[in-house]
Structure 1
């Protein structure tokens, strides 16, 4: 065996021994544009001569970030980033998520009717810091690549109960969240209560390297990624692996039992989720939500009749987007209610993702879930619409594993864990675009109940 090979194997051996407590920060940071952008108005598009679907206007820039360093200013209309035409939030996000710290960037823009080109280097997202607890940036190996993870823990080295957050439906980052973001308030509060808490990016999001694309992968790939993160979390020297938990929010509440049925776990907490097959959930959601968002009741019910055929063809027969949109009525509904875009995405994710959700049997998964279960429903959560799903999860678990599940009702709490009132009041907050303004009204009773339940489970 050559000396080089022996040295390489020794380095690999040492890295395996030290992992995961040799914390990783060498992953190149995702780039940030550092500009708040808004769609073009009709009047601004006409005045500037820019196609309304081929540009976005800068409302403000962040000092020291990419846009500012490139000389861009509020009022500039960005039309291209590195050759990609910018028109609407989807195209913007596609262009931005390709950027990494240190990359070259070329931005084409219009300023006061004149075209310009700005060039520079991409600045990276700042690392989170805290003087109240330790913040650890690390990476989780997954399918030959790496998932970015962030662990927060109390200072010190004692063995701690640990919680993995599994976030909701979208392919958005959980890194660098604002202090008032519900996930940040959730994880920070649990950390201050004495837990090690892990957040992990979905594949293809943020700093992740060589992982599947979140927007096109299926639910089983997403589950596999979070499962890898859960096993990695349990290996930290400061984690009590016998007291490891998952908190699944929204879609995370579907992923959580898929992991918990296959691994040793102390408990699962779910909030804002359901156990229904995806077909049934979507019918229920559309019938409940559309009138609340302004669709006439009779029109909505007529649409539901069409949806029964559409969703059967989409989820059961597994027809593709081209086949589905050949029907004008299907196309109309998919564009209105499912945000169908030019890439064939539905609710920002692929048709294959929707179809893979339909293939799940959540009743079976909950029946096989290892460990204890806490199912929490918020009174104003119009994403799950009623307490039936959360109460049924408890009934399923207790039928097959008696005494293992509990149900909690949180008054006045919406899907984002904010105190927005009952269902009707929460609808009004959403319709008026006030959700972000309610970030200061996080319901800390949620974290109190989680803490109380975990302590009881550990004690028993």
Structure 2
């Protein structure tokens, strides 16, 4: 199957063609790592990692990763490169990252018990400590938010001397709206599509999310109060990884309290927002509102990058229905790595 990659939407509303240069396939051997202990304000010791291209001069402009919702270590692997490592290599940037509490060698009760506000605070404390590293140019640190890390990115950047923020896979609508987008896409793209039932099911989910996210009620409490909403929780995406995408209810409740667009409005550094055409979770508008808001306040300071046929993880699919099922995805790293790296090189 051939994919057409001739169009990439960038910088406002212009549609541009972009030729991806051929370059040698990078490998983990192209990087070197330094593990640093991060001390949090409550006394936990977290694993931090500073990574740079081998034989590079120090200090370097740096990319700090804020992670997706699911738990799991993001420590450097000797066997494969992460997307963030590929971007750092292509940009000649150092990469900063931490393993969240209870993950990898980081202390703590576990990522499954880590709430949203504490996670943001840990990132901000890690920023202050890891940017002191000898490999890092403190004046040129860019935050890179991936998936739901796109929501923590502007909060981590707030009041910090950041040189830019780039996000992929998450927008700036309220968490309530975001979850409804998850539901709408799920109901529209699932193989057992029943358009005549979609309206009623969305209304049930709206009411469930109102009680769950705004009133901070647990699913069993909601079902006791509202027997007509039984079964909604089990039908939602992410409830198979208990309690919800593997994170505690408090994480989601605190996310629902955030005003992300207000945080983005305070980011005065350049911004890039990356959207995959076949995104399986949040719709285009959720991403686009970041660029439109920032460019309305500070014209020309936000860049839009839309990658045709790309899903949430930047694999490429034949159509949005295949993407929803994660069926037949093809990984072509250049479609994300090179345009983001080009933007980062421009900043430095």
Asked if Structure 1 and Structure 2 have the same fold, meaning a TM-score greater than 0.5 normalized by the shorter chain, the answer is yes
Written as runs of structure 1 = structure 2, the 5 A alignment for 1:338-349 is 338-340=237-239, 345-349=243-247
Q: Within 5 A, what are the aligned runs for 1:185-196?
A: 185-196=83-94
TM-score using structure 2 length: 0.84
Aligned to 1:20: none
Q: Is the 8 A contact 1:248 1:254 kept in 2?
A: yes
Q: Give the direction of change, closer, same or farther, for the CA distance of 1:139–1:244 in structure 2 (3 Å limit).
A: same
Deviation of the 1:130 alpha carbon: 4.2
CA distance in 2, matches of 1:282, 1:130: 36
Query: Secondary structure of the equivalent of 1:310?
Result: helix
Instruction: Quote the Cα distance in structure 2 between the aligned partners of 1:415 and 1:344.
Output: 22
- Separation in structure 1 between the aligned mates of residue 145 and residue 310 of structure 2, nearest angstrom: 16
2-structure distance, mates of 1:339, 1:253: 18
Pairwise CA distance, 1:145: 1.1
Partner of residue 230 from structure 1, selected from 127, 131, 135:
127
1:205 aligns with 2:103: yes
CA contact (8 A) 1:152 1:188 kept: no
Relative to structure 1, the CA distance from residue 338 to residue 178 in structure 2 (aligned partners, 3 Å threshold; closer, same or farther) is: farther
Return the structure number with greater relative CO, CA threshold 8 A, min gap 6.
2
User: Which residue of structure 1 aligns with residue 195 of structure 2?
Assistant: 297
Provide the residue aligned with 1:150 in structure 2.
49
Say if 2:337 is the partner of 1:447.
Answer: yes
What are the Cα deviations for residues 182-204 of structure 1, in whole angstroms up to 9, with x where unaligned? xx143134225411112211222
Which of 299, 306, 313 aligns to 1:416? It is: 313
Residue 139 of structure 1 aligns to a residue whose secondary structure is strand
Matching residue within 138, 142, 148 for 1:251: 148
Cα deviation, 1:258-315, whole Å, max 9, x if unaligned, reads 1112211000000111111111111222122223223423333322111122111111
Matched, 1:270 2:167: yes
Cα distance in 1 for residues equivalent to 2:69 and 2:126 = 17
Partner of 1:308: 206
Q: Aligned partners of 1:344, 1:161: CA distance in 2, in Å?
A: 38
Q: Distance in 2 between matches of 1:249 and 1:339?
A: 17
Alignment of 1:329-344 (within 5 A): 329-340=228-239
List gaps (5 residues or longer) in structure 2: 1-26
Unmatched runs of 5 consecutive residues or more in structure 1: 1-128
Query: 2 CA distance for matches of 1:180 and 1:336?
Result: 35
Alpha-carbon distance between aligned partners in 1 of 2:59 and 2:138, rounded to the nearest angstrom? 9
Q: Is the 8 A contact 1:264 1:370 kept in 2?
A: no
Aligned to 1:140: 38
C-alpha distance 157-393 of structure 1, shift in aligned 2 (>3 A): same
Alignment size in residue pairs: 318
Q: Would you say the 8 A contact 2:28–2:80 is kept in 1?
A: no
C-alpha distance in 1 between matches for 2:322 and 2:218:
38
Cα 1:338–1:324 change in 2 (3 A) is: farther
